[in-house]
C-alpha cells in the first residue's frame, strides 16, 4: 500500500478513537453557563488532543491509488479508477450512459 493510504487509515482510526472525548470537550467549551475557568481547561485539553483526531485533518483519497483529487465519495475512487472499473463492469449498478 502507498504511504498516503496508510496515513489516511491511521488518521481515520485516530478520529474514531477520540471522537467521544472531542465532542465532550467541545460541548464544555461552548457551554456559556459554565465558569470561564472550566471552559478554559476544557479548551486546553481539546488542544492537547492529537492533531490527527481532528475531523478537518481527514481528506478523501482514492482507495485504489491514494490519489487525492477528483474523488467520487460514494465509491471512494478517483475519477480515472471509477471510469476503469465502471467500463470493466466491476461497479454494481453503474453502466455507460447512452442516449
Per-residue pLDDT reduced to its tens digit, 6-41 = 888 888 899 999 999 999 999 999 999 999 999 999
Q: Which three cell numbers stand for residue 8?
A: 489516511
Whether residues 8 and 51 fall in one domain: yes
Give the whole-angstrom CA distance, residue 75 versus residue 85.
11
Task: Tell me which of 41 and 60 has the higher pLDDT.
Answer: 41
84 part of a folded domain: yes
The pLDDT assigned to 53 comes to 86
Q: Are 76 and 62 in contact (CB under 8 A)?
A: yes
Q: Which three cell numbers stand for residue 94?
A: 453503474
Residue 13, domain extent:
1-58
Whether residues 43 and 6 fall in one domain: yes
The pLDDT assigned to 39 comes to 96
46 part of a folded domain: yes
| Mean pLDDT for the stretch of residues 67-75 | 91
- The domain tally of the chain equals 2
Q: What is the mean pLDDT of the chain?
A: 90
Give the whole-angstrom CA distance, residue 61 versus residue 84.
17
The pLDDT assigned to 90 comes to 92
Give the whole-angstrom CA distance, residue 31 versus residue 21.
16
Amino acid at each position: 500500500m502507498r504511504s498516503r493510504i496508510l496515513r489516511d487509515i491511521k488518521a481515520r482510526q485516530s478520529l474514531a478513537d477520540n471522537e467521544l472525548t472531542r465532542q465532550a470537550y467541545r460541548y464544555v467549551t461552548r457551554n456559556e453557563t459554565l465558569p470561564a475557568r472550566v471552559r478554559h481547561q476544557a479548551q486546553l485539553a481539546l488542544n492537547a488532543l492529537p492533531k490527527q483526531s481532528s475531523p478537518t485533518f481527514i481528506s478523501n483519497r482514492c482507495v485504489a491509488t491514494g490519489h487525492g483529487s477528483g474523488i467520487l465519495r460514494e465509491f471512494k475512487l478517483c475519477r480515472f479508477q471509477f471510469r476503469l472499473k465502471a467500463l470493466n463492469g466491476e461497479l454494481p449498478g453503474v453502466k455507460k450512459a447512452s442516449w
